[in-house]
Amino acid sequence: MDELTKIIDTSESLFKKYGIRSVTMTDIASKLGMSKKTLYVHIENKQDLVSKIMQRYISRNKEMCLCIQKEAKNALDELLKFSLYTQQQVDDINLSILYDLKKYYRLVWQLLDDFNRKEVLMMVETNLKKGVEEGLYRQDLDVSLVSRLHISLMPILSNEDLFPINDFPTQQLHREFMRYHIHGIVSEKGRELLKTMLGSLDPRGKLY
């Protein structure tokens, strides 16, 4: 593993645990067992570091989504696997990261926002079209409208004024959001298949 990868891995781990703003470059250097001078050989500043972490995060998400699309048996299988993957991401992150990005790292936040508005939107649209064609989603579904509604609602989940974390735990919030989406789009055929699939994919009923 090269030095830059070690720096990105360690920094990402610290940011996920404590948030971005509360972790200093001194903290990162100390955790890595190197001097700040050595750290700055590989990165320009904290903004550059956060940007590199986000670029890798987006790249990995693209790869995972393409893998899920390729391996999924049908649109519903694809949607459930997307959702489980997203749930794992949610479980693994300190929501203060989103707040820090929006307030202190606007350019990096824009990278994530662009990814959601373009790449994720296209994935959702593709999944909806596929589900309608397979008869698993409602035939009267307005794909363009529903995909945009879904994407536009996602950022609201991180609004702590609207959803205080003590009242609405992150896992519960994401689970209910996806239930709302899935049960709103499936046909009767899709609903029956959903029951069967969840028996093996989600045996403890943690999701849907």
Which domain CATH number covers 53? 1.10.357.10
Q: What pLDDT, on the 0 to 100 scale, is given for residue 203?
A: 54
For residues 109 and 176, membership in a common domain is answered with yes
Q: What pLDDT, on the 0 to 100 scale, is given for residue 157?
A: 82
Q: What pLDDT, on the 0 to 100 scale, is given for residue 185?
A: 97
For residues 126 and 72, membership in a common domain is answered with yes
Q: What pLDDT, on the 0 to 100 scale, is given for residue 91?
A: 73
For residues 186 and 163, membership in a common domain is answered with yes
For residues 155 and 63, membership in a common domain is answered with yes
3-state secondary structure 28-58: HHHHHCCCHHHHHHHCCCHHHHHHHHHHHHH
Q: What pLDDT, on the 0 to 100 scale, is given for residue 68?
A: 95
For residues 106 and 167, membership in a common domain is answered with yes
Residue 208 lies in a domain: no
Distance between CA atoms of 69 and 87, rounded to whole angstroms? Answer: 17
Q: What pLDDT, on the 0 to 100 scale, is given for residue 208?
A: 53
Residue 206 lies in a domain: no
Residue 17: give the domain boundaries: 1-43
Residue 70 lies in a domain: yes
Residue 166 lies in a domain: yes
For residues 70 and 169, membership in a common domain is answered with yes
Domain tally, the chain:
2
Mean pLDDT by 10-residue block, N- to C-terminus, for the chain (208 residues)?
92 92 95 95 96 95 94 95 85 79 93 90 96 98 96 84 86 87 95 85 55
Q: What pLDDT, on the 0 to 100 scale, is given for residue 204?
A: 56
